[in-house]
Amino acid sequence: MKKHYFAVSVCIASLTIGGQFALAEPPGHGEQPAKVAPADALARLKAGNQRFVAGKLQHPNQNPKRRTELATGQRPFAIILGCADSRTSPEVLFDQGLGDLFVVRVAGNVLDDHALASIEYAVDHLSARLIVVLGHQRCGAVQAAKETLDSKAEAPAHINSLVAAIQPAVEATRGADVESTIKANVENVVQSLRSSEPVLKREVEAGAVSVVGAYYSLESGAVAFTQK
């Protein structure tokens, strides 16, 4: 019985600090870096891409020390919704390391419920303040969607779901080249994220979160960000 009372006393003492109850920190979210403002996050991405283009990569945060630091939690400074194309890895294009970017990748950088839920998690729970929709030159998914719709055909199996997601951009750029459609698709996804309820629209309108589009040149390595 005495042991029971002692255990309870220790438990209460551990919860009470200065007469007030203290809530335990969630695992991995104790001492965390401060939130990075959208403008600062964008500046980091631009600087990293400039290093990539110039061939002066720093490969930051890619050592055992960083790996150990991240073992109990993460605090990425930006979210990237990008294409699954093997030539467009955001950590490489922006010269970033472990834990720097929260990356969601799917062919055509389209938005579905799973991608949206992932992005909402990064905003709500990881405090990322910048979302970048990253399209790229000669995107095969957009090209396939354009060709499928232009020929009034139907894509095989689940690829048809990508065609349906990209269709609004194809329809809006009839008569234009595929690069125009790629950029229109990026802009459509940006607008969808900005207006997504209940999480993102609230944060965007409050100025807490910024959503921007970007276009990666396979040839030059440069990423151009939209100004809208």
pLDDT in tens, 61-87: 999 999 999 999 999 999 999 999 999
Confidence band for 166, pLDDT divided at 50, 70 and 90? very high
| pLDDT of amino acid 5 | 38
pLDDT in tens, 18-73: 333 332 333 444 455 678 999 999 999 999 999 999 999 999 999 999 999 999 99
| pLDDT of amino acid 103 | 98
Q: Taking Cα atoms as reference points, which of 120, 85, 84, 86 lies closest to residue 197?
A: 120
Asked whether the beta carbons of 29 and 73 are under 8 A apart, the reply is: yes
Burial of 137 (0-12, 13-18, 19+ CB in 10 A): middle
Residue whose structure tokens are 């995107």: 139
Q: How many CB atoms lie within 10 A of CB 204?
A: 19
Q: What mean pLDDT is reported for the chain?
A: 88
pLDDT in tens, 102-148: 999 999 999 999 999 999 999 999 999 999 999 999 999 999 999 99
Residue percentage of the chain with pLDDT more than 90: 84
Confidence band for 228, pLDDT divided at 50, 70 and 90? low
Q: What are the sequence ranges of the domains in the chain?
A: 31-225
Pairing between β-strand 130-136 and β-strand 78-82 as defined by DSSP bridges: parallel
CATH topology for 31-225 is Beta-carbonic Anhydrase; Chain A (3.40.1050)
Contacts 24+ apart (CB under 8 A), 50-53: 51/95, 52/92, 52/93, 52/94, 52/95, 52/221, 53/220, 53/221, 53/222
| pLDDT of amino acid 14 | 38
Q: Taking Cα atoms as reference points, which of 212, 217, 218, 223 lies closest to residue 51?
A: 223
| pLDDT of amino acid 34 | 79
| pLDDT of amino acid 11 | 38
pLDDT in tens, 180-222: 999 999 999 999 999 999 999 999 999 999 999 999 999 999 9
